[in-house]
Structure 1
Amino acid sequence: MTGYAEVIGDPIAQSKSPAIHGYWLSKLGLDAAYRAALVSVEGLETYLASRRGDPQWRGCNVTMPHKQAVIPLLDRLDPLAARIGAVNTIIAEDGGLTGYNTDARGFLEPLRSRLAKQHYFRMARIIGTGGAARAVVTALADEGFTLVLAGRDAGKARALLDELAPGGEHHAIDLAHFADETDFPFDDREGCLDLLVNASPLGMAGQPPLVYDFSHTPPGTVVYDVVTDPVVTRLLAEARRRGFSTVDGLSMLIGQAAAAFEMFFGRPAPRHDADMGLRALLSP
């Protein structure tokens, strides 16, 4: 075997990463493996110490609750991961462990064709202040968006914007603001790019629903939900019913996994079918 990689977290049984990487390894015919490892907060340091001495271990993906806790245990931090303040990929390289964040790249991937165009103005309404939101805020600030960040705690949202996107004229609001109908008259949006991003767990199976009134959504907005279970969330279903373009959470999940796959195994992920085969595998 040419090596193996893993995904670590607690819990970990729900992770789709083994199915994604296993699918690509099979397509390429690589004699390598990708596994899931249940690692508790208390066991994180022991886990990394044990893998450091394993020449077959290429690295691991990192999911909750370790994306920030793992940082002081690493030898190096990629600049983007340092800015985001979270690591989702660890690579064994140059005799040490380097932390990366591929979430921002994965998030932007399905938006690239739109971002390649010139716009008079770009605005994103983002819901959430957790780890996924950190990557989304950083990525969109770098792409020139004015951000409206909504969270249960508006003060936390303000602090996150000040940390990750200082200097911009961004706005922090209470999540409840989006729950109530508004009669705000949106101006002409021609030449603009508007996004609505759910970067929170709201709407995920087993989580509370996301309460959002679409009167807050300018015409032509792209509605993006990072939740992957269900793939078509209530937010996306309602957006499609109203005629908005949508992006589902599998797009970000597969995009960030593809970036990590190439770092682990030295080969680009085989995505020649626009991920249709992989999506069929991942969707119930």
Structure 2
Amino acid sequence: MTDDSHAKPPAQIPLAGVIGMPVAHSRSPQLHGYWLRQYGIRGHYVPLPVMPEHLAEVLRILPRAGFVGVNVTIPHKEAVLALADVVTDRAALIGAANTLIFRADGKIHADNTDGYGFIANLRQNAPDWQPDAGPAALIGAGGAARAVVASLLDSGVKELRITNRTRIRSEQIKAEFGARLVVYDWAQAGNMLDNATTVVNATSLGMQGKQALRIPLDALNPDALVTDLVYTPLMTPFLTDAQSRGCRIVDGLGMLLHQAVPGFERWFGTRPEVNDDTRRAVLE
């Protein structure tokens, strides 16, 4: 008999997933599963439904079970900041994290890649987009909107107009992000589109099962780039209306795809490409 007491243990198969409640609707397992197959990587990415009261305990246990990291979705994106050992500047600025890395030293590293995904989607699908060409107009003031604000300001937008059904949330974002933001009342949302060269819907209005986004687009500049963070349906009524007025449009699916790139690279060691095949794989 051979003495295998000094044999190397089998290499751990890296595990990752998405934590949320609910999480069954998430397309992230489809996306990461496609990339794992595409690049021939031995790894798994799974949905992890976790109640808020169990979040801290689950995050402590997952690394011991072979998890290298997770994506974070509603309702945990703010709560994980308090549970992380290291928080990136952009996650701290946005006040939420969507990507956790379980480091070899036992520390939890929290980042927010939503803003990266938002800008990468625009750059890929509207390569001649110029963020400093004119004012940007943002509808919504939730967590996703905060990521959009940070990324637009970082990209060089000189004036960012923002409106929300609850005005105080817009005011809070202005207080944190500064003088380049201009707050509009919800009743005046149509007016803020005047001369705007970038227009973003960061609300869930227009999503399947939600109310429509009812903002008059009469003042919309036909040269504007219009994008919607909603991707179910891909062509929201907001995008359809903007396109009929001559605007270039970018749907929200690309943001989901691009925001996943940095996490996948950190967890599995390969930087994945976002292309037409990726889109098809997620839409199947």
TM-score (norm 2): 0.89
Larger radius of gyration: 2
> Of 73, 85, 88, which residue of structure 1 is paired with 2:98?
88
Deviations 1:33-92 (A, max 9, x none): 0000001111111111111323x2110000001110111111110111111111000001
> Of 52, 66, 74, which residue of structure 2 is paired with 1:41?
52
What is the aligned partner in structure 2 of residue 198 from structure 1?
201
Note if 1:101 corresponds to 2:104.
Answer: no
- Does the Cα contact within 8 Å between 2:193 and 2:199 map onto a contact in 1? no
Deviations 1:221-244 (A, max 9, x none): 101000011111111111122221
Question: Which residue type is aligned with residue 154 of structure 2?
Answer: D
Change (3 A) 1:210 1:185: closer
How do residues 1-284 of structure 1 correspond to structure 2 at under 5 angstroms? 2-54=13-65, 56-93=66-103, 94-112=105-123, 121-145=133-157, 146-163=159-176, 165-168=177-180, 170-178=181-189, 194-271=197-274, 275-283=275-283
Tell me, in whole angstroms, the C-alpha distance in 1 between the residues paired with 2:44 and 2:100.
16
Tell me, in whole angstroms, the C-alpha distance in 2 between the residues paired with 1:212 and 1:132.
19
Structure 1, unaligned stretches of length 5 or more?
188-192
Change (3 A) 1:57 1:118: closer
Q: How far has the Cα of 1:258 moved from its partner?
A: 1.4
Question: Which residue type is aligned with residue 58 of structure 2?
Answer: Y
The number of residue pairs the alignment matches comes to 270
Percent identity reads 37
Change (3 A) 1:128 1:119: closer
Tell me, in whole angstroms, the C-alpha distance in 1 between the residues paired with 2:244 and 2:129.
26
- Does the Cα contact within 8 Å between 1:67 and 1:86 map onto a contact in 2? yes
Change (3 A) 1:52 1:122: same
Tell me, in whole angstroms, the C-alpha distance in 1 between the residues paired with 2:130 and 2:182.
23
- Does the Cα contact within 8 Å between 2:137 and 2:193 map onto a contact in 1? no
Structure 2, unaligned stretches of length 5 or more?
1-11
Q: How far has the Cα of 1:119 moved from its partner?
A: 7.0
Tell me, in whole angstroms, the C-alpha distance in 1 between the residues paired with 2:130 and 2:14.
43
What SS does the aligned partner of 1:217 have?
coil
- Does the Cα contact within 8 Å between 2:18 and 2:47 map onto a contact in 1? yes
Change (3 A) 1:117 1:137: closer
- Does the Cα contact within 8 Å between 1:61 and 1:88 map onto a contact in 2? yes
Question: Which residue type is aligned with residue 236 of structure 2?
Answer: T
Tell me, in whole angstroms, the C-alpha distance in 2 between the residues paired with 1:73 and 1:46.
10
Cα RMSD (Å) of the superposition? 2.1
Tell me, in whole angstroms, the C-alpha distance in 1 between the residues paired with 2:193 and 2:45.
51
What SS does the aligned partner of 1:90 have?
strand
TM-score (norm 1): 0.89
Q: How far has the Cα of 1:117 moved from its partner?
A: 7.2
Single out whichever of 96-105 and 136-145 deviates more from structure 2.
136-145
- Does the Cα contact within 8 Å between 2:131 and 2:155 map onto a contact in 1? no
Tell me, in whole angstroms, the C-alpha distance in 1 between the residues paired with 2:90 and 2:247.
31
